[in-house]
Amino acid sequence: MRKKEIVDNFKNAKILVIGDMVADIYLNGNISRISREAPVLILEYTGEKIVPGGAANVVNNISTLSGSVFAYGLIGEDASGRKLKDLLEQKSINVEGLLADGDRPTITKTRVVAGGAATVSQQVVRIDKEPKIPINKKLETKIIEKLSNDLKIVDGIVLSDYGSGMVTTKIKKLIIEYCRQNNKVCIVDSRYDILSFKGVTYVKQNEAEAAKVVGFELLDEETIVKAGKILLEKLQAKGIIISRGEDGMSLFEDSGAVHHIPVIDKSEVFDVSGAGDTAVAAFILAIASGAKPVEATEIANFAAGIAVRKLGTATVSNKELQEVLGEYYGN
């Protein structure tokens, strides 16, 4: 079956990911009582864990999907940054492009998760630490110099822009122009500034992000199609992917083709955290492995469907994806 062959070929793909690397921290506690100081829960600390988030989640998913991956981004000279780098290194991910900046803390998103003997654990608050200053120009130059070499040896590039400044104007221009001149594929997932990526090969947006760009709500298939065509024209891309939650994904190609891809299983959606990163990882791997855009989007849709059935920022393995494809299409 062709899609399973494509996924099997992920192991031969080399992908470069550049973007805002995030350490997702999960701080767990058991509900003890209500505080006498204020109407808030008191939690007894039971432990914490750090998992790769943001662009690092894309990196992590490419690795678990069996692709080779080069990670580019900034971390701070702090415990969170060291732990994040260690987690990626343990998976044999190339982290030579992951540089430490003493002037910027590692981006962290700390989720406090509470539960009890008779209750389901759930997130009660999230605390974000995110630097708002431009990246160091010397580090930017160092990254660009290294990028110039690694772009030559990879099959695809992901620009994962969470708005923290890693994907600078110079870096965008270098990657987009290189891909256009050398017929390589790049995909961007940008939360706040998608129109600055004009000329990129593929674009991934969710409904809310796309609606903000086009200036109207995406209420139905008609408005989705209208938005997709506007984004294609504005960005001069080969394809626009709009993720639509429980309605799946829509792909708009520069040929004029429109594909609406439904969710395969709506029965078990536990957590959507990071599912978009999983979709981007699966899509770029599929394209790099010879898939047509619609095939790559379908594979990405399956991968995201696995991710949302897991709690927290999760990854999907190549084996899991193969099994789901086998169940749906038959072995």
Which candidate, 140, 201, 154, places its Cα nearest to that of 176?
201
Distances (CA, A) of 126 to 83, 112, 129, 278: 20, 6, 10, 21
Query: Which DSSP string do the residues of 6-33 spell out, in sequence order?
Result: HHHGGGG-EEEEEE-EEEEEEEEEEEEE
What amino acid occupies position 129? K
Residue 19 CB-half CA count within 13 A: 27
Q: Where are the alpha helices (DSSP H) in 36-136?
A: 55-64, 79-89
- Of 24, 101, 247, 277, which residue is the catalytic one? 277
Structure tokens at 233: 């024209």
- Residues 212 and 227: beta-carbon distance below 8 Å: no
Residues with Cβ within 8 Å of residue 237, at least 6 apart in sequence: 199, 200, 201, 202, 203, 231, 254
For residue 14, with 0-12 CB atoms within 10 Å meaning exposed, 13-18 middle and 19 or more buried, which class applies? Answer: middle
Among residues 308, 299, 234, which one has the least CA distance to residue 268? 308
Q: Is 277 a catalytic residue?
A: yes
How far is Cα 181 from Cα 196, in angstroms, rounded to an integer?
19
Which residues neighbour 210 within 8 Å (Cβ) at sequence distance 6 or greater?
218, 227, 228, 231, 242
Please answer whether residues 15 and 284 qualify as being in contact, where contact means their C-beta atoms are separated by less than 8 angstroms.
Answer: yes
Cα separation, 289 vs 53, in Å, equals 25
Separation between Cα atoms, residue 297 and residue 285, nearest integer Å: 11
List residues with catalytic annotation: 277
